[in-house]
Amino acid sequence: MTTIPVLPPPRAAASLPDYIQNDEKLRVAAQKLEASFFAEMLKSAGVGEPLESFGGGAGEEHFASFLREAQANEMVKSGGIGLAEALFEAMKVKMHA
């Protein structure tokens, strides 16, 4: 029988200064907010709406929301419209004040 070795716990990011850790958390939060904004805009634009030829249904609507979220995340990764950066800078100023 093969035994599985016990792995050490993952290293904490404590080696980074607190302000850098907080900045990364703020940046991630700002990017998530921008992605949510994009997903809602795509939904309003009708992206992923069921086509009559496929029959639609509740399942298709759920999967369409996954598609919109994935597209929104990719839009943010490619630079977005600058909303995440503006939110990040505003939150950083408030946090460091």
Q: Per the domain annotation, does 32 fall within a domain?
A: yes
Instruction: Please list, in sequence order, all residues whose beta carbon lies within 8 angstroms of the beta carbon of residue 13, skipping any fewer than 6 positions away.
Output: 21
Q: Which domain holds residue 44?
A: 17-48+55-96
In a domain, 25, yes or no: yes
* Distance separating alpha carbons of residues 59 and 9, to the nearest angstrom: 39
**pLDDT of res. 90:** 92
Please report how many Cα atoms fall inside a 13 Å half-sphere around the Cα of residue 57, on the Cβ side. Answer: 6
What pLDDT is attached to residue 22?
82
Are 37 and 83 in contact by the 8 Å Cβ rule? The answer is yes
Looking at the structure of the chain, the number of domains it has is 1
Residue 34 in domain: yes
4 inside domain: no
What is d(CA 55, CA 48) in angstroms, rounded to the nearest whole number?
Answer: 13
Reported as a pLDDT band with limits 50, 70 and 90, residue 32 is very high
Over the stretch 58-92, which tens digit does the pLDDT of each residue have? 677 778 888 899 999 999 999 999 999 999 999 88
